[in-house]
Amino acid sequence: MTRDVEVRYTQTNNTLVASFSLAVNRRFAKKDDEKQADFINVVAWEKVGEFCSKYFKKGQQVAVVGRLQGRKYEDKDGKTVFVTEVIAEEVYFADKKQDNLFTEQPQQQNMDELPFWEVIKGGN
């Protein structure tokens, strides 16, 4: 993860929307073993977004299952901006188990104590 999860709520029905970005290394180097990465924006709604905001932090390795969505909007200058993002339907920890102890919370939790299946699968 390249940054911490940002959370906002929709104006119409106060639905939670979480967003973050992932750096994904390309398998093949362009030249001379030079590594390249793609930066992918991810949007997670409702329970999936709540899980992300609660447990995901910058620097963690995470896995996202979802669909690509393209959209466009006009910026303040009237120019059309095209955006492609992943709409997260399922999210998982991808770090090694020993790397996933959460020390920022009042007490440490390990992976076996987290409520995975109730929270991370979206209904969309």
Would you say residue 55 lies in a domain?
A: yes
Range of the domain at 106: 6-119
Would you say residue 110 lies in a domain?
A: yes
Provide the 3-class DSSP secondary structure of residue 111: helix
pLDDT tens track for 30-89: 677 778 899 999 999 999 999 999 999 999 999 999 999 999 999 999 999 999 999 999
Would you say residue 124 lies in a domain?
A: no
pTM: predicted TM-score of the whole model, two decimal places: 0.73
CATH of residue 14's domain is 2.40.50.140
Would you say residue 63 lies in a domain?
A: yes
The DSSP 8-state label assigned to residue 4 in this structure reads: P
The DSSP 8-state label assigned to residue 38 in this structure reads: E
Domain count, the chain: 1
Would you say residue 1 lies in a domain?
A: no
Would you say residue 65 lies in a domain?
A: yes
Nearest residue to 89 via CA among 65, 70, 69: 65
Would you say residue 60 lies in a domain?
A: yes
CB 93 within 8 A of CB 100: yes
Would you say residue 34 lies in a domain?
A: yes
**∠ CA 109-117-17, rounded to 5°:** 90
